[in-house]
């Protein structure tokens, strides 16, 4: 199938439609994410065919992936892997068109890096569930229609086996979203309080007690979504810093040149590694290798933003962007050096902390002995709180 020709023909036949109608028609034609099944926005093709489709749709109405990245990169693969046929049909179309924004309700005040230790409770109540608890560091909760929720359904089981995964209606009674002002001055993140929220069993993803396995699917895709984006040479922060170096010769010193050359090489190696990972994903689901890509991304972002501030000297220390805003996306390249420096600090936390990712790489990629886990078979209710 010449998918690029089909996409170009679609563009010609649907030119002039309102944005929302155009996007819905594109999804229905299977030209949204072509590796998804037919009828769910795809054509059962290999992932590699997507680049040709994207070229054909350049300049057409966009679903704003910067705004719905959680839905595209995390919710959609999870729904496809663990959802029922009815759930896929109900959620995927509005997710891809951007009509329904998704967020991720994983982290908690007492269970950040240790996701399996979540305390938010979901208790059976007739044909549904009653949910109580608190989530934190939730991006896009202030705009989201749905949330990916992991909750404790069996406190008598060990922590990895007592969780269940749900899609939560963020407009349901009892859901309260509060902004968390961060280092940059913005409130990109939120804390979410769940008070007697009623959740229908039809919004459960996967089997009861199988939440850890389903959550792992989300996390693996999240790390690839954060660190494995498709990029050209000198895209992103490395391009900004290299551009400043070329345009401002008065800023150069031998030490800064050595630092820039080292980071340029590392950024190129990370870019090529990310390309190889996407090629591997074309024939299967993401594995633990995505943790290495995300780990490299976080370190490079922090080192490059630090080098940019150092390169600019006093000019790099200026930061006057303290306005309290609720952004709908994170755009590192279109902001000031001071913003990039401050925001990059979060890269080693979001999507799994760098410390946790190193454990995953050591155990699942390198095959090193795992850490001793004394709580592995202990009922969650008996663990120290």
Tokens of 355: 């410390």
SS3 assignment, position 156:
coil
Are 305 and 344 in contact, with CB atoms under 8 Å apart? yes
**Is 222 designated active site?**
yes
List beta partners, residue 148: 104, 167
Q: Which of 186, 188, 191, 222 is catalytic?
A: 222
DSSP 79-119: HHHH--HHHHHHHHHHHHHTSS-EEEE--BTTBSS-GGG--
Q: How far is CA 137 from the centre of its chain?
A: 13
- Rounded CA-CA distance 383/385 in Å is 6
Are 79 and 123 in contact, with CB atoms under 8 Å apart? no
What contacts 128, CB < 8 A, 6 or more positions away? 198, 199, 200, 201
DSSP 318-365: ----------SS--STTS-HHHHHHHGGGGGTTTS-HHHHHHHIIIII
- Rounded CA-CA distance 169/146 in Å is 5
Active site residues: 222
């Amino acid at each position: 199938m010449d998918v690029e020709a089909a996409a170009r023909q679609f563009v010609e036949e649907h030119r002039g439609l309102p944005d929302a109608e155009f996007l819905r028609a594109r999804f229905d034609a299977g030209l949204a994410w072509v590796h998804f099944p037919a009828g769910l926005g795809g054509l059962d093709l290999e992932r590699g065919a997507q680049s040709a489709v994207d070229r054909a749709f350049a300049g057409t109405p966009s679903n704003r992936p910067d705004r719905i990245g959680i839905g595209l990169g995390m919710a959609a693969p999870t729904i496809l892997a663990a959802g029922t046929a009815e759930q896929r049909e109900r959620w995927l179309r509005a997710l891809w068109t951007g009509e329904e924004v998704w967020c991720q309700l994983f982290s908690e005040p007492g269970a950040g890096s240790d996701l399996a230790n979540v305390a938010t409770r979901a208790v059976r109540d007739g044909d549904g569930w009653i949910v109580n608890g608190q989530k934190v560091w939730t991006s896009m909760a202030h705009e989201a229609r749905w949330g990916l929720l992991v909750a404790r359904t069996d406190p008598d089981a060990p922590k990895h086996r007592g969780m269940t995964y749900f899609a939560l209606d963020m407009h349901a009674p009892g859901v309260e979203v509060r902004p968390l002002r961060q280092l940059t001055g913005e409130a990109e993140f939120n804390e979410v309080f769940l008070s007697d929220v009623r959740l229908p069993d039809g919004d459960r993803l996967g089997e009861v007690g199988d939440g850890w396995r389903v959550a792992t699917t989300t996390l693996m895709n999240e790390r690839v979504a954060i660190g494995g984006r498709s990029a050209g040479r000198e895209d992103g922060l490395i391009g900004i810093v290299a551009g400043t170096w070329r345009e401002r010769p008065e800023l150069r010193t031998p030490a800064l040149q050595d630092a820039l050359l080292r980071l340029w090489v590392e950024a190129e190696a990370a870019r090529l590694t990310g390309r190889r990972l996407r090629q591997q994903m074309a024939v299967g689901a993401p594995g633990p290798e995505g943790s290495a890509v995300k780990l490299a991304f976080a370190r490079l972002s922090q080192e490059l933003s630090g080098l940019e501030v150092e390169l600019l000297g006093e000019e790099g220390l200026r930061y006057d962007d303290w306005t309290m805003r609720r952004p709908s996306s994170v755009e590192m390249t279109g902001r000031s050096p001071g913003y990039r420096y401050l925001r990059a600090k979060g890269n080693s936390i979001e999507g799994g902390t760098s410390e946790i990712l190193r454990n995953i790489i050591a155990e699942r990629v390198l095959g090193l002995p795992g850490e001793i886990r004394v709580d592995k078979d202990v009922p969650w209710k008996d663990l120290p709180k």
